[in-house]
Structure 1
């Protein structure tokens, strides 16, 4: 008992997956299958000190 909602949700998810079209990045799939490294996004380097570092205990480091 009590499995009705869970089964209904699983059915809904399965139906959505079956009938909805999803955009597929075929170039990313090809890179993954060929073992090429993924492109990494460039992350800006943030200042090593954070806004609370002025309040830190200097003897603790």
Structure 2
């Protein structure tokens, strides 16, 4: 009991968020899409260094993970 007012308020806020559509700033969007940042591009050297399991010492891993 006593949850009716809280639920109604949450429903009102959710409905406002769902149907609210702010004006689109196309100029800012264009600038963001056309800007070239070095941080956005993954180079081959970083790609090869990330996610390799070859650096793990022997015997390291989860118990029972002997398929190496």
- Is this a same-fold pair by TM over 0.5? no
- The structure with the largest helix share of the pair is 2
